[in-house]
Amino acid sequence: MSQKLKILIVDDEQHIRKVLALLVKEAGYLPIECIDGPSALKSIRMGPPEAVLLDLRMPGMDGMEVLREIKVLDPDLPVIIITANANIHGSVAAMRYGAHDYLSKPFEHEEVIRIIRRAVAERLLKRRLQNVSAHLDDILSLPKMMGSSEVVARLIADVNRVSRSDFTVVLFGETGVGKELVARSIHHNSLRSGNPFVAIDCGAIPDTLLENELFGHEKGAFTDASGRTKGKFETAHNGTLLLDEVVNMPLKSQAKLLRVIQDKKVFPVGSNKAVDVDVRLIVSSNRRMEDAVTKGDFRQDLLYRLNDFTITIPPLRERQEDIPYLINRFIESTNIELGKQVIGCTDKALEILMTYPWPGNVRQLRSVIRRAVLLANETVSESHLNLKNEFCHDTNNYSLTTLENSQNLSLKEIVQRNTIEVERKVLTQVLNQTGGNKAKASRLLQIDYKTMHNKIKKLGLYQEDWYD
């Protein structure tokens, strides 16, 4: 059974205290009674209540003095002043000194309960917001999330350098390195931090729906458009919009994006009326955007518009000194999630984790550690890791292995066998790079999802943490 929240009642008149105590109980709280200011301050020092009912006129230390002392001890503690009608000016003065509200004698019982409940609700809400803010600071603190290596320190320096500006930022890095984490950190440290942060994966949305997602639509724009819907640009107004994997955006949408950047206006689908938008753009890609321009996949003029400042986020294999810190962080968070008390790794397990190439980067490490903590009782060992060094970029090795036992095979059969083996290795590598996301893997390999699914089934590549 949860402990009741305390309400402190400070009044030198016993019958007033008793009436208020009954009302506090009726409101669902625990009343604490004090006869004067000094005893009230002592009670607050021992354990602050959620609200204080304070008589303005008391012998010795009056209510105004007590109020000032309370605000020194706990500035956020709501104090409700109790005053006689004749001393209404005193209650107004108390409000200037930080009182939350006041009650005039004789007071109505329902009014007392209503004011107490409102004060407590505001106190709890403010505390919750403070906790969320502190938690957000932890989440968006790159050293706490990524580690303290020199590589991360240089990354943080770039983030700090660009955050307070309104520059468009290009984030380049492999899948799973934490591009969205860096984007959120830039927003959190920017002048727009009090406004929305919105992210959209340009590669995960079909071409026919992307413009609707970005720019919104009007009622009747298409069959199911029953009302007007805001797009990501409008949703992010005055805030930050992250266009994840922007190089996957179709060329037609790129042209419209360029116009939005130039004019700071969007045209919802089915509308000829422009909507003003003020958005700071951050774009990310796991491909060099210059390479995409060379291949004709990305507009050069759009690249020039976007590339105010580029931050390259290093893969995990280039900052191995952060791996022990990340391992401990993921063990700790998974312990909390599962209610376990797994303590660290064995030396052998740590050696494996430190030397593994991590094609899926931090995302893959987190997945491996979470599974290991689930399986472990006290310490993560080698048997809990389920890691194999199956990533080889030299496809000649596949052919040589087959040729050793291919004396009786035709050229066509040898090629067919090697093709299957190469497909198996490539699909395994890409699926691990995407954290098992088959939709993303199919986009990276430029094959449709159905083909990807059939090949996985044919080659027997199913793993429990690969998903659609």
Q: Are 285 and 169 in contact (CB under 8 A)?
A: no
Q: How far apart are CA 302 and CA 297, in angstroms?
A: 11
Q: How far apart are CA 211 and CA 222, in angstroms?
A: 13
Q: Are 343 and 328 in contact (CB under 8 A)?
A: no
Quick one: residue 60, left, alpha or beta (phi over 0 = left, psi -120 to 50 = alpha)? Answer: left
Q: How far apart are CA 345 and CA 352, in angstroms?
A: 10
3-class secondary structure, 389: coil
Q: How far apart are CA 451 and CA 468, in angstroms?
A: 13
pLDDT grade, residue 140 (50/70/90)? Answer: low
Q: At residue 195, what are phi and psi to the nearest 5 degrees?
A: -110, 175
Q: Specify the DSSP element, H or E, that contains 200.
A: strand 197-201
Quick: pLDDT tens for 150-188.
999 999 999 999 999 999 999 999 988 999 999 999 998
Name, in order, each residue with C-beta under 8 angstroms of 6's C-beta and a sequence gap of 6 or more: 29, 30, 31, 32, 47, 49, 50
Q: 6-135 maps to which CATH number?
A: 3.40.50.2300
Name the fold adopted by 396-459. Arc Repressor Mutant, subunit A (1.10.10)
Name, in order, each residue with C-beta under 8 angstroms of 32's C-beta and a sequence gap of 6 or more: 6, 7, 8, 9, 43, 49
Name, in order, each residue with C-beta under 8 angstroms of 290's C-beta and a sequence gap of 6 or more: 303
Parallel, antiparallel, or unpaired for β 79-84 and 6-10?
A: unpaired
Q: Are 292 and 284 in contact (CB under 8 A)?
A: no
Name the fold adopted by 317-384. Helicase, Ruva Protein; domain 3 (1.10.8)
Quick: pLDDT tens for 345-386.
999 999 999 989 898 899 999 999 999 999 999 999 999 997
pLDDT grade, residue 388 (50/70/90)? Answer: low
Q: How far apart are CA 283 and CA 307, in angstroms?
A: 9
pLDDT attached to residue 240: 96
pLDDT of 332 above 80:
yes
pLDDT of 308 above 90:
yes
pLDDT of 43 above 60:
yes
Q: 143-314 maps to which CATH number?
A: 3.40.50.300
- Average pLDDT, rounded, for the chain: 84
Quick: pLDDT tens for 415-438.
666 677 777 788 888 887 777 777
CA atoms within 13 A of residue 198's CA, in its CB half-sphere: 20
Output 230 or 132, whichever has higher pLDDT.
Answer: 230
Specify the amino acid at residue 445: L
Output 344 or 450, whichever has higher pLDDT.
Answer: 344
Q: Are 253 and 207 in contact (CB under 8 A)?
A: yes
Burial zone of 192 (CB within 10 Å; 0-12 exposed, 13-18 middle, 19+ buried): buried
Give Dmax over CA atoms of the chain in angstroms: 111
Write the DSSP symbol of residue 214.
Answer: H
CA distances (Å), origin 466, targets 47, 428, 433, 435: 51, 10, 11, 7
- Domain boundaries of the chain, sorted by first residue: 6-135, 143-314, 317-384, 396-459
pLDDT attached to residue 199: 93
Q: Is the pTM of this model over 0.85?
A: no
What percent of the chain lies above the pLDDT cut of 90?
A: 47
CA distances (Å), origin 16, targets 34, 83, 105, 280: 11, 12, 10, 58
Name, in order, each residue with C-beta under 8 angstroms of 280's C-beta and a sequence gap of 6 or more: 166, 168, 187, 190, 192, 239, 240, 241
Structure tokens at 445: 């390999």
pLDDT of 395 above 60:
no
pLDDT attached to residue 234: 92
Q: Are 248 and 296 in contact (CB under 8 A)?
A: no
Output 126 or 401, whichever has higher pLDDT.
Answer: 126
pLDDT attached to residue 168: 96
Lowest mean pLDDT among 24-28, 316-320, 350-354, 423-427: 423-427
**Residue closest to 316 by CA, chosen among 356, 270, 286:** 356
pLDDT attached to residue 379: 93
Name, in order, each residue with C-beta under 8 angstroms of 392's C-beta and a sequence gap of 6 or more: 425
**Residue closest to 200 by CA, chosen among 149, 156, 167, 236:** 236
pLDDT attached to residue 141: 72
Lowest mean pLDDT among 172-186, 210-224, 384-398: 384-398
Q: Do domains 317-384 and 396-459 have the same CATH topology?
A: no
